[in-house]
């Protein structure tokens, strides 16, 4: 059985009370290694609970454990006055109509010479005086994409998640991949792999060359060429949402018929020629047990000789417990843990291994003491044969856990499912 091991120095980053925009939490970081050997960490920071606005800060480390916050007094006007000269400021924050109230959960992928950061964009106020806001319609989030070379200046490429999908867990693959055969569609058209809504990749013989062409049974042209790929978790592409009270109030474009959707929020894969317009959405992995609430992408996929590591979060729901004694009542709660699967290197729509258990579960005090039991993995890398996973701990601080890559791959191949199932196992 494989388990990640928490670093002895955890949490590796926690709120600094002298920095006003992060006093309530630093968590859910995007992480990457730089050519200098340093580790760059973009972290979500919250400084108040009145409206719960998130900004993004930058910290760097020579060893991946001890981080120093980046100071750039020209990047924001949050800190001001004579004492502000040495106070770190956000490198990015709310700046457009689609992220007016929060920029959350950055995830970093290097593609070519550029770094791309997906982040959750929140257009409406989240809280009011530390309380939830009554709404006619539920709060809807989206995912936007940033491009940078230095983590100081960013080009905002806009929203990349499907319209009205309430999508906040998008991660990018670090290179183009020869994807499955696709129908020739317009880049703005959301298209499922198959007109019938069937998820599995079409089984068409391989051909040589950078671009491959073929025809389906109806004579419609199909092409196969290297494309960008992403994993995402649309909260409204499932049967629960489609049967809920808001289904008629919000017109959610779906990639297939409702009866072909998963029951709960699941992980999907999609393809693009430009990183902006995404098509051919395909169900990759879904939860299937009574205690499951949802699953979602965690780290950007990591390439290994044996396949793509897909490290994702798993959410378990524990129902409220009623009791005549108020001291014995327990409210409904959700527990976030870490799981892992292995995707085929050349065809990541195929799952070739999946561990049927958590590889990290909230147990340490800093993962549970702030009223939530959360380990939320969002960044990491492989170095010297060791997998490094950075995660948000209880929506308050940042933890690091590591493990042997070789040992993990051995376990994944031992638990290989040869693409036969797309459901979680316990």
pLDDT tens per residue across span 155-176? 999 999 999 999 999 999 999 9
Angle at the Cα of 25 from the Cα atoms of 94 and 332, rounded to 5 degrees:
105
Lowest mean pLDDT among 110-114, 129-133, 322-326: 322-326
More confident call, 82 vs 41: 41
What tokens does 336 get? 């976030």
Band (pLDDT 50/70/90 cuts) for residue 180 is: low
pLDDT tens per residue across span 361-387? 999 999 998 889 999 999 999 999 999
Q: Which residues make beta-bridge pairs with 178?
A: 226
Band (pLDDT 50/70/90 cuts) for residue 415 is: confident
Query: Taking 60 as the threshold, does the pLDDT of residue 188 lie above it?
Result: no
More confident call, 218 vs 213: 213
Band (pLDDT 50/70/90 cuts) for residue 36 is: very high
The predicted pLDDT at position 419 comes to 44
**φ and ψ at 386, to 5 degrees?**
-120, 135
More confident call, 326 vs 364: 364
Of 353, 269, 278, 349, nearest in space to 309 by CA: 353
For residues 1 and 414, the answer to whether their CB atoms sit within 8 Å is no
Read off the pTM: 0.89
Task: Please enumerate, as own/partner, the contacts of 332-335 that have beta carbons within 8 Å and a separation of 24 or more.
Answer: 333/372, 333/373, 334/293, 334/372, 334/373, 335/361, 335/362, 335/373, 335/374
Distance CA 253, CA 272 (A): 18
In this structure, what is the dihedral angle of CA atoms 294, 264, 173, 282, given to the nearest 10 degrees?
170
Query: Taking 90 as the threshold, does the pLDDT of residue 179 lie above it?
Result: no
For residues 236 and 247, the answer to whether their CB atoms sit within 8 Å is no
Distance CA 193, CA 330 (A): 44
DSSP 162: P
Q: Which residues make beta-bridge pairs with 394?
A: none
In this structure, what is the dihedral angle of CA atoms 109, 110, 115, 117, given to the nearest 10 degrees?
-10
The predicted pLDDT at position 365 comes to 97
Mean pLDDT of 248-258: 92
Band (pLDDT 50/70/90 cuts) for residue 222 is: low
Q: Which residues make beta-bridge pairs with 355?
A: none
Query: Taking 50 as the threshold, does the pLDDT of residue 46 lie above it?
Result: yes
Mean pLDDT of 119-143: 92
Mean pLDDT of 348-359: 95
Distance CA 43, CA 70 (A): 11
Distance CA 103, CA 115 (A): 17
Distance CA 284, CA 231 (A): 9
**pLDDT averaged over every residue in the chain:** 86
Q: Which residues contact 383 (CB under 8 A, 6 or more apart)?
A: 33, 64
Query: Taking 70 as the threshold, does the pLDDT of residue 253 lie above it?
Result: yes
Token pair 């005086």 in the structure block, residue? 129
Distance CA 11, CA 170 (A): 25
What tokens does 223 get? 């092409």
Domains within the chain, CATH numbers bracketed: 5-200+212-414 (2.115.10.20)
Mean pLDDT of 276-300: 93
Distance CA 122, CA 141 (A): 5
The predicted pLDDT at position 164 comes to 96
* CB-count burial class (<10 Å; 0-12, 13-18, 19+) for 86: exposed
Query: Taking 50 as the threshold, does the pLDDT of residue 195 lie above it?
Result: no
Q: What is the three-class DSSP state of 327?
A: helix
For residues 337 and 316, the answer to whether their CB atoms sit within 8 Å is yes
The predicted pLDDT at position 392 comes to 98
Distance CA 187, CA 127 (A): 36
Distance CA 155, CA 44 (A): 18
Query: Taking 50 as the threshold, does the pLDDT of residue 200 lie above it?
Result: no
Of 423, 377, 380, 426, nearest in space to 405 by CA: 380
Q: Which residues make beta-bridge pairs with 111?
A: 114
Angle at the Cα of 139 from the Cα atoms of 138 and 141, rounded to 5 degrees:
135
Band (pLDDT 50/70/90 cuts) for residue 139 is: very high
Band (pLDDT 50/70/90 cuts) for residue 331 is: low
Query: Taking 70 as the threshold, does the pLDDT of residue 207 lie above it?
Result: no
Q: What is the three-class DSSP state of 367?
A: helix
Token pair 């949802």 in the structure block, residue? 294
Distance CA 278, CA 270 (A): 6
Distance CA 53, CA 309 (A): 32
């Amino acid at each position: 059985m494989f388990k990640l091991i928490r670093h002895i120095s955890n949490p590796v980053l926690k709120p600094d009370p002298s920095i006003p925009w992060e006093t309530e939490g630093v968590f859910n970081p995007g992480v990457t290694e730089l050519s200098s050997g340093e580790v760059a960490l973009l972290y979500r920071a919250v400084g108040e609970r009145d409206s719960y606005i998130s900004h993004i800060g930058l910290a760097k480390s020579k060893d991946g454990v001890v981080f120093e916050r980046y100071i750039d007094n020209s990047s924001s006007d949050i800190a001001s006055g004579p004492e502000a000269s040495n106070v770190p400021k956000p490198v990015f924050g709310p700046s457009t109509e689609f992220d007016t109230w929060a920029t959350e959960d950055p995830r970093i992928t290097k593609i070519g010479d550029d770094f791309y950061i997906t982040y959750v964009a929140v257009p409406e106020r989240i809280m009011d005086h530390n309380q939830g806001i009554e709404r006619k319609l539920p709060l809807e989030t989206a995912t936007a994409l940033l491009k940078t070379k230095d983590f100081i200046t960013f080009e905002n490429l806009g929203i990349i998640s499907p319209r009205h999908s309430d999508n906040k867990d998008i991660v990018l693959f670090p290179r183009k991949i020869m994807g499955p055969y696709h129908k020739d569609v317009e880049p703005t058209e959301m298209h499922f792999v198959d007109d019938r809504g069937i998820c599995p990749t079409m089984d068409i013989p391989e051909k040589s060359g950078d671009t491959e062409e073929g025809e389906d049974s109806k004579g419609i042209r199909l092409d196969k060429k290297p494309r960008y790929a992403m994993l995402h978790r649309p909260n409204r592409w499932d049967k629960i949402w489609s049967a809920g009270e808001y289904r008629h109030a919000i017109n959610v474009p779906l990639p297939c018929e409702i009866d072909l959707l998963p029951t709960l929020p699941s992980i999907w894969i999609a393809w693009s020629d430009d990183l902006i317009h995404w098509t051919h959405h395909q169900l990759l992995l879904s939860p299937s047990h009574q205690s499951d609430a949802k699953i979602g992408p965690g780290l950007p996929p990591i390439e290994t000789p044996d396949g793509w590591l897909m490290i994702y979060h798993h959410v378990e729901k524990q129902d409220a417990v009623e009791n005549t004694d108020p001291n014995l009542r327990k409210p409904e709660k959700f527990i976030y843990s870490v799981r892992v699967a292995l995707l085929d290197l050349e065809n990541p729509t195929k799952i070739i291994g999946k561990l049927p258990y958590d590889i990290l579960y909230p147990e340490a005090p800093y993962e549970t003491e702030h009223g939530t039991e959360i380990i939320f993995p969002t960044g990491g890398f492989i170095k010297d044969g060791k997998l490094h996973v950075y995660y948000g701990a209880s929506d308050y601080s940042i933890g690091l856990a590591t493990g042997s890559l070789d040992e993990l791959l051995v376990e994944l191949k031992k638990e290989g499912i040869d693409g036969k199932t797309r459901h979680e196992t316990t």
